[in-house]
Structure formats: C-alpha cells, structure tokens
Amino acid sequence: MDLDVYVTAHRAEWERLDHLLSRGGRLTGTEADELVTLYQRTATHLSLIQSSAPDPMLTARLTQLVARARATVTGTRRASWRDAVTFLTNGFPAAVYRSRHWWVPTAVLSTLLAALIGWWIATHPEVQSAIGAPADLREMTRPGGQYETYYSSHPAASFAAQVWTNNARAAALCLVLGAFLCVPVLWILFLNMLNLGVGIGLMSAAGRLDVFLGLVLPHGLLELTAVFVAAGTGLRLGWTLIDPGPTTRRAALAQQGRAAVGMAIGLALVLFVAGLIEGFVTPSGLPTWARITIGIGAELAFLAYVYVLGARASRTGDTGDIDEPDRSAQLPTAA
C-alpha cells in the first residue's frame, strides 16, 4: 500500500467525519446517515492501515476519530441494577464455568502440593528444626497455641474484613499478573500452598492434624476455591499471550482481560462470604462437625452455582465478557 496515495484518496472523508462529529447532535437525518457510513468506512481504513502500512501518528489520529464516531453512533448507556443481577446470574458463573479446564487442574495439583509439603515436614524432624526452634513450634501447635488462637485474636467483624481484603488482593493479583506469562501466578500459588503445607506438617507432627483441619476447612474450602479460580483464570490469561487462537493477540487478550476483571469482582463477593465464615464461624463455639458442615455447604453451593447457572449461561453463548454494544469496536483484519 502506498500510504501517501491512500491518505490523499480518503482524507476528505476523514475531515468530513470530523466535521460532523464537531456539530454534536445538531444533525439532520441525512447527515446522521452520512456519519454512520463515514464511521464504518473510517474503521475499515484504520484496519487496513494498521495491517498494511502502520504509521503511528496516522493510526492514533484515526483511532481517536473512530472512537469518537462510535460513541456518537452507539450513544452511552448507564449501568443499572439489572446489569448487576445479570452479571451475578449469568456473566460471572459463565466465566468461571468456561475456565474450569484451567482452575480445576490448578486446584488438584495445588492441593497435592500442599499435602506433599505437609507430609515432608511431618516426617522429617530436621525440616521442622529448620522452620523454628522446638520451643517456638510447641507454642504454635499446643492446645490453645497460636494456630488455634489466630482465628479469635481480633474482633470477628474486623478480622473478617481483614481476611477479605487480603484474600481479595491475592485473587486480584493472580488475575492481573497472569498477563506476565503466568510466572507470578505460579509463585503466588506456591506461597499459599507452602503456608498451608507448613501448618499441615507441624500440626500433624504434634498429633493435632484433626484440630488444624477443623479450623481450616470451614472457611478454607470456599476461600481456596476462589484463589484457585483466580489463579486458573490468570494462567489462562497468560497463555492467551502465547497462543491467542484464531483471532489476533490483542483481541484475544482484550476479551480474556475483560472477563478477568469481571471475575475479580465476582470473586471478591465469594471471598467476602469466606471471610464472614472465617471471622464468625471458625472461631465460634460450634462443634467441629457443625463448622465443617457449614464450610462444605458453602463450597457445594458455590460449585452448584457455577455448574448449574454457569453451564446454562455458557450454553446460551455468555462468556463473561461485557455486552457487544459496550465493547470497543473490533475492526476487520486484512488477510
């Protein structure tokens, strides 16, 4: 493509589109139709220039022009409570369901890793000695020790808020950092499983693994599931950079990124529930079986939410992405 010739041939159309946009809403019916036609043509021009003869200044100018035209043609739409309900009943569970091939293996492998670390620590006294002095370890694992009092060390409400904030931050980091070729996500996962494995190993060595599981399972099932979903989604986002599939890398990353942002919001709500359980149920005086039953019930409710509502929404074509009218225009790609 001869860029100078192409610009000369179509400059008048771009200037005309810019003129119509500068008039705001004061357009006749004929002019409005003309604006739509020029918007479509300019979008095609931009696509061809980007793929055949990219020029940074011209591309920036036409991108801005197309964005202004699209905003004028499509208008703006305010979010409503209906959007929130649709997101919670369709978009979010569909996104989690569609990414299950990433987060389910992540959950299985991470759990096995935590169990392996716990077994290694429990069966190797020299590893325990490397973690801490024997007196310190006894203080942590004894009845009424640090592992037990941790969940009741602060008022329930503030503790739940603190847990929710920390876990939501970790989930968001997994989602965002997935774009860096998955490596940071794997590191965050490893640190979480290492902490869990250390607790399993030390309490098992002290003969109190049942107490530890009774404290962790009520909130940990739902909490860890949310972290695994975030990590799996982050890994999927990172893989999109490596293999974007049939579409362009930019378009694929944009789609997965928008879905990841929505999942961050949804997972924050899930972790809020887990934080409430950790703040009010885990340190409560309820029998261990009752606390674990509440945790299992919350976990099963979330899985049913994903595999029933999410599967249904996915079958209807919902991907967890924003609605088509709210997306940036995806321009045709020249062959």
Which H, E and C letters describe 113-161, residue by residue? HHHHHHHHHHCCHHHHHHHCCHHHHHHHHCCCCHHHHHHHCCCHHHHHH
Write the burial class of residue 173 (CB in 10 Å: 0-12 exposed, 13-18 middle, 19+ buried).
Answer: middle
Q: Specify the pLDDT at position 304.
A: 97
Find tokens 């674990």 and name the residue: 292
Q: Specify the pLDDT at position 332.
A: 44
Q: Specify the pLDDT at position 322.
A: 55
* Per-residue confidence in pLDDT tens, the chain, 335 aa: 677 888 888 899 999 888 888 876 677 878 888 888 998 899 898 888 877 767 778 888 888 888 888 877 776 555 567 878 888 899 899 999 999 999 999 999 999 999 999 999 999 999 999 999 989 999 889 988 888 887 776 666 665 677 677 777 778 777 777 767 678 888 989 998 999 999 999 999 999 999 999 999 999 999 999 999 999 888 888 888 777 777 777 777 777 777 777 888 899 899 999 989 988 998 888 999 999 999 999 999 999 999 999 999 999 888 776 554 444 444 444 44
pTM to 2 decimal places: 0.70
Report the half-sphere exposure of 203 (CA within 13 A, side-chain side). Answer: 22
Find tokens 């860096």 and name the residue: 180
Q: Specify the pLDDT at position 326.
A: 47
CA 39 to chain centre: 34
Please give the Cα distance from 60 to 214 (Å, whole number): 58
CA distances from 52 to 45, 48, 58, 252, 302 (A): 10, 6, 13, 20, 48
CA distances from 269 to 214, 222, 262 (A): 24, 11, 11
Is residue 160 within 8 Å of 275, Cβ to Cβ?
yes
